Amino acid sequence: MTPLHVPVEIVARDRRVWRLSLAIDVGAIRFGKEIPFDPGTRVRLSLTLPGGAALGVEGKLASAEEIRFDAAPPQSQAIEAYLKEQVNEP
């Protein structure tokens, strides 16, 4: 996973919380603070990558601090571009 520190809106059913992300890859995002939903809960995430790409991603809570995306989100190209950019930085 690649470090990513941005605010993320997490919505499950009728409940909404905000968390600061720690890291991301094409298939998942990790947080430093527990997400108050049960593992397996389906969620919708909204976040903006550095550089301005706004993402809306659906997934499932894998653990108290990690959400795995459903398959490859349509925005996976934006995530891949961010990951590639981070690898290429000195």
Q: Is the dihedral of CA 7, 13, 32, 72 positive or negative?
A: negative
The one-letter amino acid code at 12 reads A
Output the CATH code of domain 2-88: 2.40.10.220
pLDDT tens, the chain, 90 aa long: 899 999 999 999 989 999 999 999 989 999 999 999 999 999 999 999 998 889 999 999 999 999 999 877 677 888 888 888 887 765
Alpha-carbon distance 37 to 66, whole Å?
Answer: 11
Alpha-carbon distance 40 to 68, whole Å?
Answer: 10
pTM comes to: 0.89
Alpha-carbon distance 63 to 82, whole Å?
Answer: 24
| Domain extent listing, the chain | 2-88
